Amino acid sequence: MAMQKPASRPANPRFSSGPCAKIPEFSLDMLADAPLGRSHRAAVGKAKLLAAIEETRAILGVPADYKIGIVPASDTGAFEMAMWNLLGARGVEMLAWESFGEGWVTDVVKQLKLDATVKTAGYGEIVDLATVNFDNDVCFTWNGTTSGVRVPNGDAIPADRAGLTLCDATSAAFAMDLPWDKLDVTTFSWQKVLGGEGAHGMLILSPRAVERLETYKPAWPLPKIFRLTKGGKLIDGIFKGETINTPSMLAVEDYLVALDWAKKAGGLKGLIARAEANTAVVSAFVAGHDGIDFLAADPAIRSCTSVCIKFTDPRITDGAAFAKAVAKRLETENVALDAGAYRDAPPGLRIWCGSTVETSDVEALMPWIDWAFQAEIAALAEAA
């Protein structure tokens, strides 16, 4: 017998973990002020880029003496740029607990060929930060986008550390409270928590990171698109909107619109509250359903943006096939698009609960996950 479908549906079925849902009530008409067909070096272009930098600083609470730059190639480009410019001056520790962190390990060990200490944790867990030597340079992701985990706070990072901390915060910025005094390099991209467009990365440098840039020269060559210094001095224009290569002014306008929405949503505190409220809905759902659980067992390290759940019902014999079938049902019904687990992660669902997602949509989705789950369990029984 066919199972009865839930009565209501999410108004916005976009639960992708990147690119993520646009801001509520988004319309292309909001981008009408974009200076299309104009040079990014013209006064209007520079003003837009500088506004993007300064509004980012204001909302995230980035200290005035930290540098913020708009760089190419999304968060990947920003983090690669940081590693290629800064690492090699002292020992390195690479921390990985999901796919992107593992990618940074590959870059450092196989491409830069540094003798790094590598510490890893399985999906749903993070490394014991108490074991990390912060007198080394330390690279890590704040939020494990593919594994549903996050660093709970910056308490393990000493204020008097000798090394630099390089933090990939791409699915954390604008949804989590980042401790700027503990972070020397922070990167993220527009297409995550604020639902912006791809291809642009943000690079935030502490004074300690700038000092390293100006006093250390890597042993390897740097392509033009990675260069942050000239003649031993920081190229300061990069951090005033004079980008290394040509940005999309349409994407810049989209980011400015999202930043304006963020201010109206209550700034950082409001954005965090929205993400936490969305995650609380999923938590209540999981607590009331046997056979469904979080990939991250410890609530203290559970992400409030890329929320990953797994199916643990003992009747499931092929976890990958079951999870794929559940995700397919949700997509076919147009209630959750792109909600399957990341390709390298354990089977399950990954539900984006970031700040641009409405809590009412998460609430409407939960009965559909139950419906799809029960429908697939029934299908297994029929096939047995």
Reported as a single tens digit per residue, the pLDDT across 128-156 is 999 999 999 999 999 999 999 999 999 99
On whether both 257 and 278 belong to a single domain, the answer is: no
Task: Tell me which residue of 147, 122, 95 sits closest to 295, measured CA to CA.
Answer: 147
Residue 302 in any domain: the answer is yes
What is the arithmetic mean of pLDDT over 100-119? 97
Q: Is residue 2 part of a domain?
A: no
Do 139 and 181 have their domain in common?
Answer: yes
Residues 269 and 272: their CA atoms lie apart, in Å, by 5
User: Is residue 4 in a domain?
Assistant: no
In this prediction, residue 1 carries a pLDDT of 53
Domain check: are 136 and 174 in the same one? yes
Asked whether residue 212 carries a pLDDT value surpassing 80, the answer given is yes
- pLDDT of the residue at 11: 98
Residues 299 and 376 in one domain: yes
- How many CB atoms sit inside 10 A of residue 177's CB? 13
CATH number for the domain including 286? 3.90.1150.10
Structural domain ending residue among the three candidates 217, 248, 263? 263
**Domain finish residue from 228, 263, 298:** 263
CA–CA separation, 59 vs 174, rounded Å? 8
Distance between CA atoms of residues 321 and 244, nearest Å: 45
Question: Is 17 part of any domain?
Answer: no
Residue whose entry in the numeric block shows the structure tokens 């699915």 = 171
Has residue 38 been placed in a domain? yes
What's the rounded mean pLDDT across residues 45-57?
98
Judgement on whether residues 291 and 196 belong to the same structural domain of the protein: no
Which residue, 246, 263, 280, sits at the end of a domain? 263
Output the pTM of the full model.
0.97
User: Which among 71, 40, 18 has a CA at the least distance from the CA of 253?
Assistant: 40
210 and 101 both lie in a single domain: yes
Does residue 18 carry a pLDDT above 80? yes
Distances (CA, A) of 300 to 126, 148, 163: 11, 12, 26
Query: Which domain, by its residues, includes 86?
Result: 28-263
Residues 241 and 217 in one domain: yes
Residue 160 shares a structural domain with residue 195: yes
Number of structural domains, the chain? 2
What distance in Å separates the CA atoms of residue 316 and residue 322, rounded to the nearest whole number? 7
Determine, yes or no, domain membership for 3: no
Same domain, 318 and 239: no
Cα–Cα nearest to 347, from 382, 383, 313? 313
Query: Could you count the other beta carbons within 10 Å of the beta carbon of residue 381?
Result: 9
| Residues 359, 211 within the same domain | no
CATH number reported for the structural domain that contains residue 161 in this entry: 3.40.640.10
For residues 74 and 159, membership in a common domain is answered with: yes
Give the tokens for residue 169.
Answer: 């915060």
pLDDT (0 to 100) of residue 161: 98
Give the span between the Cα atoms of 87 and 224, in whole angstroms.
18
- DSSP letter, residue 108: I
Residues 185 and 58 grouped into a single domain? yes
